């Protein structure tokens, strides 16, 4: 039940989906660890599934399972770009849905403050890279949906906004 303790969530990222073909229910959220400095984005996407309409819940599944930020690097004087690298992190929002085969699908926003190109050269720090990703229970892999970037000082998007974000999954009931 929801009275049992669950991992903490960041912002209001919890999304719930119910299957149209079974009693499965999925709850997904972005976990916000409490053991890292607040300016580090160390979030991961978590998923719980119930097979009986929400009466009982399976174990928490760390969908993204990203390595933690290297806080010892910061303690030794490292900068954000050297300690975090190009690891993407979930950012603020996600969407969860069941397909007609009863598989859970997630779409989520992720960001990184700089990236590394094909030649291994770091991109310019100060650019905010935003991406949309898809993950499906049936294949258990991540697929890029869209990406965009902007210079931190060139565009005023407002607080907690990115160039591409806020996915919302849906299924066409006629075509599947």
pLDDT tens, position by position, 90-139:
878 899 999 999 999 999 988 765 555 555 555 555 556 788 899 999 99
Task: State the pLDDT at residue 33.
Answer: 60
Residue 54 has pLDDT above 80, yes or no: yes
pLDDT tens, position by position, 14-53:
899 999 999 999 999 988 665 555 555 567 899 999 999 9
Helix H, strand E, coil C: the string for 62-129 is: ECCCCCCCCHHHHHCCCCHHHHHCCCCEEEEEEEEEECCCCCEEEEEEEEECCCECCCCCECCCCEEE
Max CA-CA distance within the chain?
Answer: 57
Residue 60 has pLDDT above 80, yes or no: yes
For residues 127 and 145, the model is more confident at 145
């Amino acid at each position: 039940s929801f009275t049992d303790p669950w991992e903490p969530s960041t912002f209001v990222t919890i999304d719930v989906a119910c299957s149209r073909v079974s009693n499965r229910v999925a709850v997904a959220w972005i976990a916000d660890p409490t053991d890292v400095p607040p300016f580090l984005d160390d979030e991961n996407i978590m998923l719980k599934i119930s097979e009986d309409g929400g009466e009982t819940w399976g174990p928490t599944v760390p969908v993204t399972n990203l390595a933690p930020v290297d806080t010892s690097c910061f303690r030794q004087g490292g900068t954000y770009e050297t300690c975090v690298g190009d690891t993407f992190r979930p950012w603020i929002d996600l969407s969860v849905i069941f397909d007609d085969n009863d598989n859970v699908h997630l779409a989520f926003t992720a960001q990184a403050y700089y990236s590394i190109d094909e030649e291994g050269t770091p991109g310019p720090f100060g650019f905010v890279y935003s991406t949309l990703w898809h993950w499906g229970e049936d294949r258990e892999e991540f697929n890029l949906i869209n990406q965009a970037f902007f210079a931190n000082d060139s565009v005023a998007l407002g607080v907690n906004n990115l160039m591409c974000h806020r996915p919302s999954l849906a299924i066409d009931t006629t075509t599947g």
